[in-house]
Chain A
């Protein structure tokens, strides 16, 4: 049938598509192994070496090329991401819990929250700095204005994740707890939350990742001190060197490791849940 012809053609296409997707990443990985300090961020590779990786960590003799000003920025980004993660996840869990019951105005609240992820960073960043500068009269800082905007951006994601989790949550365990005389607040703390925790964890991870790499909002709203993406952006107009690519490779590997750990934890808990479901059949 036609699909017999179609499937292999599309399979080849998908292969090319993946090549297209991975192209830049592959290129930057290759160039990260460029010889240094004279090798530049372009082809050809003069000589394969791990120079730039060592340069990142300050393990090479000082040269004309200054090390990337990433240290402080990295710390700030991590802190900001952590703060954002906690705040937006708390807000997301609370909002999702509220949406379990029908209420008037649910639609408006829903769209208000989701709006946060739809409005591009240029606009929220601009607006927030206008608000800070010209009305409130405060200075922009990564831990105030940028933080506020980051939460606006990540809260809807955390909210949607928790909404999906709670939708599939079987409420009968909660009702069982109530029937035993346990108040709804204590029930949430002792029954619901422990059971939705993997979902909460994934929302936290999501929010953390989004905040770490967030760029447009931060550009406007973080004031003097830079986060990591801003520091990287700073190198755009200056000469770039393969060390920035080495940095990119390392951060990708870090994300990969983080998500693999998370994936393994999820797989384990799914396996445990499945084992439990099987037990029910062995009456």
Chain B
């Protein structure tokens, strides 16, 4: 057998070629814009003009204004509250769908039913809250009809409460999905064994179910957090300008062409989100669980 032509390993360009367009796109239209935000936050802003001369003015302006700093705290506060409410509201449903419903078809159907409302435009759904929560809104009408209250509840609309209710309703499904998924993966035999050993449901829940569903909770929390922190439409439509989230500030600043301030707020928002997500990912090593 002649050793004349020894075959050598060929370089494989396929992977690189396949990934190149996508990676370039993301670098150009995702990474660069984010870097721009950081960059512009240090630009000089006059009333109508902006120039790339570096300055800390916009930053000082942000931190010296109670309104702006207040919006940071409002954002964090609302995020925490909505996180808690979506969890509390969503977990029992996830428990039912993921653990207690035996047939897989039924649980899929239930999940689909939960998702259907999302086929309506987000904005229109937000709008729909107004005739629900107002003084003459659906909720008040129903409650009055059943004699539960005598006077209409005024605090339902155009308050922080309405924003929280609206956001919970819109985002709780993102909690239900991942949690139900993790719950469905729990081996029933473990629960059986615990029951045989005499554990009551409370014990089983705290020691077995909750910990095993934790990765799902974390995933859901990440989804909800990302969406709530970036929110502005719900707070805009339902609070009557009373609730100012960081997102709202960005929108108004851009509206008046105050790019530098908008960028400052953008950077702050990014930092908050980064801390939140990093924090969540430390709780659970997702790659291992998934």
Contact = CB atoms under 8 A, between A and B. Distances in A.
Contacts of A44: 136, 141
A24 B169 contact: yes
A113 B231 CA distance: 22
Contacts of A6: 100, 201
A267 interface: no
Contacts of B129: 24
Contacts of A131: 32-33, 36
Interface string B94-126: 011100100000000010011011011111110
Interface in A116-168: 116, 118-124, 126-131, 133-135, 148-149, 151-152, 155, 159
Interface residues of B, number: 81
Query: How many residues of A sit at the interface, in one of the four size bands?
Result: 35 or more
A31 B132 CA distance: 10
Contacts of A1: 195
A128 B36 CA distance: 8
Contacts of B29: 124, 128, 148-149, 151-152
Contacts, number: 238
A101 B52 CA distance: 44
Nearest to A240: B127
Interface string B134-178: 101110010000000000000000000000000001001100000
Given A131-B32, A155-B22, A215-B122, A122 B251 contact: yes
Contacts of A256: 116, 119
Chain A interface helix/strand/loop/mixed: helix
A19 to B, nearest CB: 11
B110 A14 contact: yes
Given A6-B201, A126-B37, A42 B131 contact: yes
Interface of B: 14-15, 18-19, 21-23, 25-37, 40, 50, 52, 89, 92-93, 95-97, 100, 110, 113-114, 116-117, 119-125, 127-132, 134, 136-138, 141, 169, 172-173, 195, 200-201, 222, 226-227, 229-233, 236-237, 247, 250-251, 254, 259, 262-263, 266, 269-270, 273, 277
16 contacts: A10-B92, A13-B92, A14-B97, A24-B117, A24-B132, A28-B125, A28-B128, A43-B138, A112-B23, A113-B22, A122-B266, A126-B250, A131-B32, A209-B119, A216-B232, A252-B119
